[in-house]
Amino acid sequence: MESRENSQHAAKLFGTDGIRGRANAFPMTVEIALALGRAVGTIFRSHPGKHRVVIGKDTRLSCYMYENALIAGLCSMGVDTLMLGPLPTPAVAFITRAYRADAGVVISASHNPFCDNGIKFFSSEGFKLPDAWERQMEDLISRGPEVFEEYLPKEQEIGKNSRINDADGRYIEFVKATFPRKLSLKNLKIALDCAHGAGYKVAPLVFRELDAEVFVYGNVPNGLNINEGCGALYPELVQKAVIDHRADVGIALDGDADRVIMVDENAQIVDGDAILAICAKDMQQKGMLRSSRVVTTVMSNLGYVNALQGLGIEVVKSQIGDRYVIQEMLKCDAILGGEPSGHIIFSEHNTTGDGLVSALQVMRIMIETGSKLSELAAAFKRYPQVCINVKVNTKPPFEQLDGLKEVIQEVETALGIAGRVLVRYSGTEKTCRVMVEGPKRNSVQQFAESIANVIRKQIGVLH
């Protein structure tokens, strides 16, 4: 019966960022984690030679059981595993490349609360696995545990597990190497929020070893407090810290430290759009922005898009999700891309978003130009934008929701070319996201609420 249940669910394991869900509930069960390990091992067994996979995680209590299940599944198929312990997602991508491993695995639900968890994979080059690999894994799992029996290795070929003891130090040195050796952070005060997540050990060390004065928050994880009122989703904590310590800059990471939200010396938020624009302008002025092109998503603010285009920079838009930003960057030969959420990809440094690398690039520009962060951000005008997250029970096609098409058309007509509307379901949560952007904040708020109310009435979660 269990294998038949797995078969019914298997086609929907992977979302936009690996597998994610509530811990100890489908699809985030120990059984699925074990099957994933075996599926990856089976794929590797079709190629000759010995194989190894790097495994990292964030600080969630549930990470232990998934880590052990993945290791058991991989080793049972003859694959060696290398444990990193709690370490940022971009560190896993880096270590995977450094060790020339066949793949890397990250156990994390990123910015989600502790009760959720997820599993995502990197290829040997440090990129998210292609959709074809995910479909192959889903197909194998859907056929039940018996499918793996013919691929089981002989006793002497079973894989072994090892721990990489110097992973933290390797990653710290890698991040510091993205910052010019001739520069120092010694004159900067930094308020740093690690979200009680994967960056809690390495992040403070990076900035302190570059001589900054660092005031650290969110660095005491207990397995249950990751992202709890702190980190990139709750920048209020670091905003207050900037004021309390009269800091020059605030840095808020998310649970797996692949995204960053910054705060200027006046405690004003500098989001991913602003960080991308600041860095793109700097690189363009130095002749370092290959093809004079950056990649953003459809969520990026029109104000920043128009400003970048005014600097002679082509803005290419991708689907929402850092994996799609990276795919578009590879496709159009761009070396810089990102999302408003703070996923910024500097492809000459890393193959995925890296909150620490992104923050260092901004502080490099501050030092080289002698500018405060507020001054760098003031060069770009942000259009008022309202985003409303509606918790939903189901995700039917939008055309099945009565009146939704009509209200969206009314809003789009009212905004004209000066604004836009975006309504989409989250790829990782039971949430519908409503975004409206335009020149006047009051009207933008009203427009967004009118759309969200239509969705709430029909599929919203009742409280």
CA distance 444 to 420: 10
Query: Coil, strand, or helix at residue 98?
Result: helix
- Structure token pair of residue 181: 């050796």
Q: Please report where in the chains the tokens 């259009």 appear, as a residue.
A: 383
CA 204 centroid distance within chain? 20
CA distance 345 to 337: 5
CA distance 47 to 386: 50
Alpha carbons within 13 angstroms on the beta-carbon side of residue 267 total 12
On the question of a cis peptide bond just before residue 396, with omega within 30 degrees of 0, the verdict is no
Q: Cα angle vertex 433, ends 328, 26, to 5°? A: 85
Q: In 10-61, at which residue ranges do the beta strands (DSSP E only) sit?
A: 19-22, 51-57
CA distance 279 to 361: 7
Q: Which residues contact 322 (CB under 8 A, 6 or more apart)?
A: 17, 258, 339, 343, 345, 352, 353
Q: State the catalytic residues.
A: 110
- The helix (H) or strand (E) run that includes residue 367 is helix 355-369
**Taking Cα atoms as reference points, which of 343, 304, 303 lies closest to residue 321?**
343
CA distance 201 to 204: 6
Q: Which residues pair with 56 in a beta bridge?
A: 85, 106
Q: In 154-291, at which residue ranges do the beta strands (DSSP E only) sit?
A: 161-163, 189-193, 213-217, 249-253, 260-263, 269-270
Q: Give the N- to C-terminal CA distance of the chain in Å, as an integer.
A: 35
